[in-house]
């Protein structure tokens, strides 16, 4: 078991290191930040002086090494544009992101599981077709488009909800629904297909032949098994949502982490993007590592792979 | 295993509920309800509430509240509410006294002596005086601040020598060389409270600004809202609007929706299509500023030898049907095509007329210059950086194709575009916009080989290039406006003839405003809230 933990830990460190070097490399390739920081009237001479003063003229490995040596000591650096510690900037926006991501995930689960079950148990009926049609639409409608349509309908025409910002529960509804739409569609299809598969198993026939109520068969025997792959999917989905729902946050002016990173990219805030991507990767890898270790603990076969 | 998974699923749900519950509390922090105005589209049925804050919605917010560490349009709109400057532009883009009441220049043209306004207080009660001016300007060259990556370009721009406190309300600022643009650059230096800034950590200063401006910061919820409230001891009197809220909304359609639903009072960057929606709403109006941002297509004459001949560059100008672009894309916002990079009635060389659309002439000029007609031309453009930039590039490409050129448009993301620009890497035509302070001698510099954003390099090729570069350099030292104007007229003639750009337009800035306030856009693209020599903006109902 110890060998397994060490192996997985080493892999996790390599992944985080790889992500951080990629984030740095990609940002570095688009040119140094001075190009978006300077004014229209600057001379080439002034730009050169500015680049030197900011340290942008140092070789990439020196700049990356600088970041890495501080990061391993827990110092993710200071944002070039905000002049605040990057870690604080991210944590400041985390509640808004958690609120939106968590609500979207809840909405997607609360809606997708029942309709997936209904669809599977009424396979081929109008209800099933309707659900599948809705799922197809939900998966194919871009979040960006859906967000604007929902905003026009509920904020501009009906005036029921605010069009953007983060001011209480009402302002959460539209962005959470737009963000959840894809997952509702995907999860309900997933629940449906898993249910259909499970329902064809022998033990379901056995349960029915024992005279159990159909409700018990569906919810106690079938759904529990059908949910196994869904749970795995939900874990990954949560990771994605926490990474920042960039598009939704931008459309609805939601002050979350995704927008911070997006602004950082467009402002070439190298320390901010570098640290944010690394921290998010650490979160993602951390969750995965814990799940893997848990599997290894629960199922001895995993350890020897 | 199944049960364990079911338990994990339930645990995950519980965690989510808790997370949402925990984070939900901060969503309503501050208790601010920055709503205002009547719902759009319907007649006003109940009286507006004049105490509700005026909400200004723009695409971004300042990343820091320390104005010497950042410069951008969205930020300066917020800073202008909180900070004052020694001199400020009025509605007609002419510099007026503000915290400096008067100024004089020494005979050797190296030292500016400014008489300061008395009785001005900072938001924290500190007095504004010569010490404050000296502190603010010296802060930008303080080695510790430079180490901390201070941004303020004023000392570099003017070639600062030293700042001297003459007496409590007199300060002199010396430059190493005479600089005729000194006051223009000075108008961008916000005055800081010296004791507060000297004794507070940079991290706190990035969050808590103290200026002498008409409003002071009350609340900042990052990426959501910045609330400022009227400063009761403001030297021009307390502003009539008690509270302003700046909101950062990246998406243009959301900004418009906020305006229509009474959640915004001033929205910038209204597109021609959205302008029609605003016009049809009786609770809203449009406010148009001259703008002055020069939008053009740079022709890299050095990097790409086929553009080295000025006749080729002139021909490309003749090939573009700007009037059609204006009607089709810009909702006829443009008064006409740009003929000179210079802004302002005083500075513009009125004898120059915009290049006319003449495709036949363009074609014959290119053929006469042996231009390789079939060779591929790439038009690089950013997308969404300037009004209809990509669409304009596509329209220009279509015009160039009409005269038999082989043109494709390549859209680049702004960070990539700006990187290529400042590295002077473009080897083909690129669409670009340059801001303006409506100061002719500065406007004309943008075509100089010394400018960080000039990729054309035309002046190094042309026999007229030396004369132009000489004028640009000398203009820095010419303080007599009429003499400067004469020199500028000549420089404009040269760049008109050399056509280093495909001239497009000076971008008009359109704002949408609710009828409950009397604010009007001023000359440039910034949201100047309270202009010199004008009364405070106020509620109309």
Say yes or no for a CB contact (<8 Å) between A85 and B20.
Answer: no
CA distance B370 to chain A (A): 34
Closest CA to A93 of B221, B187, B90: B221
Percent of chain B with pLDDT over 90: 73
Which pLDDT belongs to residue A244?
A: 57
B45, B140, B223, B420: best mutation site toward chain A, by most A Cβ within 10 Å? Answer: B223
CA distance B537 to chain A (A): 26
Q: Which of B221, B257, B415 sits opposite A151 (nearest CB)?
A: B257
Tokens, residue B262: 């009474």
| Residue B181 pLDDT exceeds 80 | yes
Q: How far apart are CA A144 and CA A153, in angstroms?
A: 14
The per-residue pLDDT for range A212-247, each reduced to its tens digit, is 888 888 888 888 878 877 777 777 777 777 665 888
Q: How far apart are CA B64 and CA B91, in angstroms?
A: 27
Say yes or no for a CB contact (<8 Å) between B419 and A32.
Answer: yes
| Residue B53 pLDDT exceeds 80 | yes
Considering only alpha carbons, which residue of chain A is nearest residue B159? Answer: A46
For the residues B484-488, what does the mean pLDDT come to?
Answer: 96
CA–CA distances in Å: residue B72 to residues A17, A239, B271? 34, 34, 21
Considering only alpha carbons, which residue of chain B is nearest residue A260? Answer: B223
Interface membership of A186 toward B (CB under 8 Å) = no
Say yes or no for a CB contact (<8 Å) between B13 and A109.
Answer: yes
Long-range Cβ contacts of B14-19 (<8 Å, 24+ apart): B16/A102, B16/A105, B16/A106, B16/A238, B17/A102, B17/A106, B19/A98, B19/A99, B19/A102
B222, B296, B443: best mutation site toward chain A, by most A Cβ within 10 Å? Answer: B222
Percent of chain A with pLDDT over 90: 22
Say yes or no for a CB contact (<8 Å) between A224 and B419.
Answer: no
Contacts of B249 in chain A (CB under 8 A): 164-165, 253
Interface membership of A229 toward B (CB under 8 Å) = no
Tokens, residue B373: 């007609």
B452, B455, B459, B476: best mutation site toward chain A, by most A Cβ within 10 Å? Answer: B452
Chain A residues 1-20 with CB within 8 Å of chain B: none
Mean pLDDT, all residues of chain A: 85
Burial of A140 (0-12, 13-18, 19+ CB in 10 A): exposed
Using pLDDT thresholds of 50, 70 and 90, give the confidence band for residue B370. very high
Q: Which of A43, A152, A227 sits opposite B450 (nearest CB)?
A: A43
Contacts of A37 in chain B (CB under 8 A): 151
CA–CA distances in Å: residue B503 to residues B337, B355, B361, B379, B500? 7, 8, 17, 14, 9
| Residue B33 pLDDT exceeds 50 | no
Interface membership of A251 toward B (CB under 8 Å) = yes
For the residues B202-224, what does the mean pLDDT come to?
Answer: 95
For the residues A183-194, what does the mean pLDDT come to?
Answer: 90
Residue B111 parent element (H or E)? strand B111-116
| Residue B32 pLDDT exceeds 80 | no
Contacts of A298 in chain B (CB under 8 A): 1, 4
Say yes or no for a CB contact (<8 Å) between B206 and A43.
Answer: no
Interface membership of A190 toward B (CB under 8 Å) = no
Say yes or no for a CB contact (<8 Å) between A80 and B13.
Answer: no
Q: Are B441 and B484 a contacting pair, CB within 8 Å?
A: yes
Interface membership of A54 toward B (CB under 8 Å) = yes
Say yes or no for a CB contact (<8 Å) between A31 and B250.
Answer: no
Considering only alpha carbons, which residue of chain B is nearest residue A166? Answer: B27
Q: What is the DSSP letter of B266?
A: E
Say yes or no for a CB contact (<8 Å) between B27 and A96.
Answer: yes
Chain A residues 77-96 with CB within 8 Å of chain B: 79-85, 89, 92-96
Say yes or no for a CB contact (<8 Å) between B16 and A253.
Answer: no
Which pLDDT belongs to residue A298?
A: 62
The complex scores an ipTM of 0.81
Query: pTM for this one?
Result: 0.84
Using pLDDT thresholds of 50, 70 and 90, give the confidence band for residue B29. very low
Considering only alpha carbons, which residue of chain A is nearest residue B450? Answer: A43
Interface membership of A168 toward B (CB under 8 Å) = yes
CA distance B115 to chain A (A): 28
Burial pattern B93-129, b for ≥16 Cβ within 10 A else e, equals bebebbbbeebeeeeebbbbbbbbbeebbbbeebbbb
Contacts of B33 in chain A (CB under 8 A): 167
> What is the count of residue pairs from A and B with beta carbons less than 8 Å apart?
211
Say yes or no for a CB contact (<8 Å) between A83 and B24.
Answer: no
Contacts of A251 in chain B (CB under 8 A): 251, 254
Contacts of B202 in chain A (CB under 8 A): 83
Say yes or no for a CB contact (<8 Å) between A84 and B5.
Answer: no
For the residues B288-296, what does the mean pLDDT come to?
Answer: 90
Q: Which of A152, A250, A269 sits opposite B250 (nearest CB)?
A: A250
Please state at what angle helix A270-298 crosses helix A223-242, rounded to 10 degrees. Answer: 160
Using pLDDT thresholds of 50, 70 and 90, give the confidence band for residue B42. very low
For the residues B50-56, what does the mean pLDDT come to?
Answer: 85
| Residue B70 pLDDT exceeds 70 | yes
Interface membership of A35 toward B (CB under 8 Å) = yes
For the residues A193-202, what does the mean pLDDT come to?
Answer: 89
Using pLDDT thresholds of 50, 70 and 90, give the confidence band for residue B118. very high
Q: What is the DSSP letter of B263?
A: S
Which pLDDT belongs to residue B351?
A: 96
The per-residue pLDDT for range B345-355, each reduced to its tens digit, is 899 999 999 99
- Tokens 């070789």, residue? A59
């Amino acid at each position: 078991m110890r060998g397994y933990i060490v192996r997985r830990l080493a892999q996790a460190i390599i992944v985080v290191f790889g992500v951080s070097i990629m984030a740095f490399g990609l940002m570095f390739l688009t040119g140094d930040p001075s190009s978006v920081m300077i004014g229209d009237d600057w001379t080439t001479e002034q730009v050169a002086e500015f680049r030197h003063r900011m340290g942008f003229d140092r070789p990439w490995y020196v700049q990356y090494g600088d970041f890495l040596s501080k990061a391993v000591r827990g110092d993710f650096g200071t944002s070039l544009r905000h002049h605040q510690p990057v870690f604080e900037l991210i944590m400041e926006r985390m509640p808004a992101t958690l609120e939106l991501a968590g609500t979207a995930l809840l909405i997607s689960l609360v809606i997708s599981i029942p309709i997936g079950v209904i669809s599977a148990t009424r396979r081929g009926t109008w209800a099933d077709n309707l659900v599948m049609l809705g799922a197809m639409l939900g998966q194919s409608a871009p979040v960006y488009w859906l967000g604007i349509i929902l905003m026009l309908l509920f904020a501009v025409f009906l005036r029921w909800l605010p069009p953007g910002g983060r001011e209480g529960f009402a302002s959460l509804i539209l962005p959470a629904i737009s963000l959840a739409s894809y997952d509702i569609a995907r999860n309900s299809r997933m629940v449906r297909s898993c249910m259909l598969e499970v329902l064809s198993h022998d033990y379901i026939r056995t349960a029915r032949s024992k005279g159990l109520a159909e409700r018990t068969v569906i919810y106690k025997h079938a759904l529990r098994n059908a949910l196994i792959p869904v749970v795995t999917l939900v874990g990954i989905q949560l990771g994605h949502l926490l990474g920042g729902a960039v598009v939704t946050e931008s459309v609805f002016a939601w002050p979350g982490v995704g927008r911070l990173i997006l602004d950082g990219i467009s402002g070439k805030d190298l320390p901010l993007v570098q640290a944010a991507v690394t921290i998010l990767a650490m979160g993602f890898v951390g969750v995965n590592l814990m799940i893997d270790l848990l599997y290894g603990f629960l199922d001895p076969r995993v350890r020897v792979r | 295993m199944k049960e364990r998974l079911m338990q994990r699923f339930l645990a995950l749900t519980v965690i989510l509920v808790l997370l949402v519950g925990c984070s939900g509390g901060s969503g309503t922090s501050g208790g601010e309800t920055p709503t205002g105005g009547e719902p759009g589209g319907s007649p006003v049925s109940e009286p507006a509430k004049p105490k509700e804050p005026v909400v200004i919605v723009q695409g971004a917010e300042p990343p820091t509240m320390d104005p010497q560490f950042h410069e951008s349009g969205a930020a300066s709109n917020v800073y202008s509410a909180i900070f004052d400057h020694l001199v400020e532009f009025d509605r007609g883009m002419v510099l007026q006294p503000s915290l400096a009441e008067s100024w004089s220049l020494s005979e050797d043209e190296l030292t500016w002596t400014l008489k300061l306004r008395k009785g001005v207080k900072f938001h924290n009660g500190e007095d504004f005086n010569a010490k404050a001016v000296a502190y603010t300007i010296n802060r930008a060259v303080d080695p510790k601040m430079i180490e901390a990556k201070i941004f303020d370009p004023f000392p570099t721009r003017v070639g600062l020598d030293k700042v001297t406190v003459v007496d409590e309300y007199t300060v002199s600022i010396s430059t190493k060389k005479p600089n005729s643009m000194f006051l223009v650059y000075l108008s961008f230096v916000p005055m800081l409270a010296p004791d507060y800034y000297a004794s507070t950590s940079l991290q706190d200063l990035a969050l808590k600004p103290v200026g002498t401006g008409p409003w002071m910061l009350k609340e900042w919820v990052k990426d959501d809202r910045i609330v400022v409230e009227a400063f009761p001891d403001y030297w021009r009197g307390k502003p009539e609007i008690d509270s302003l809220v700046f909101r950062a909304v990246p998406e243009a359609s959301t900004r418009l929706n906020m305006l229509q639903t009474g959640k915004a009072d001033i929205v910038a960057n209204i597109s021609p299509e959205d302008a029609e929606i605003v016009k049809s709403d009786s609770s809203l109006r449009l406010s148009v500023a001259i703008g002055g941002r020069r939008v053009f297509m740079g022709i890299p004459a050095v990097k790409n030898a086929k553009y080295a001949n000025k006749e080729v560059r002139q021909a490309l100008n003749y090939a573009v049907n700007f009037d059609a672009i204006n009607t089709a894309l810009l909702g006829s916002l443009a008064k006409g095509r740009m003929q000179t990079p210079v802004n302002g009635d005083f500075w513009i060389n009125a004898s120059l007329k915009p290049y006319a659309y003449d495709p036949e002439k363009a074609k014959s000029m290119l053929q006469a210059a042996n231009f390789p007609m079939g060779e591929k031309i790439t038009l690089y453009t950013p997308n969404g950086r300037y009004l209809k930039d990509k669409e304009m590039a596509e329209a220009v490409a279509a015009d160039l194709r009409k005269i038999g050129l082989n043109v494709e448009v390549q859209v680049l993301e702004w960070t990539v575009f700006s990187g290529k620009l400042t590295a002077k890497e473009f080897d083909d035509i690129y669409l670009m916009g340059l801001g303006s302070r409506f100061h002719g001698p500065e406007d004309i510099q943008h075509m100089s080989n010394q400018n960080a954003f000039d990729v054309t390099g035309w002046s190094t090729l042309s026999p007229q290039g030396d004369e132009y570069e000489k004028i640009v350099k000398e203009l820095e030292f010419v303080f007599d406006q009429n003499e400067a104007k004469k020199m500028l007229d000549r420089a404009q003639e040269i760049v008109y003839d050399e056509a280093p750009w495909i001239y497009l337009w000076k971008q008009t800035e359109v704002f949408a405003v609710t009828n409950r306030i009397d604010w009007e856009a001023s000359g440039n693209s910034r949201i100047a809230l309270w202009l010199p020599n004008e009364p405070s903006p106020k509620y109309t109902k």
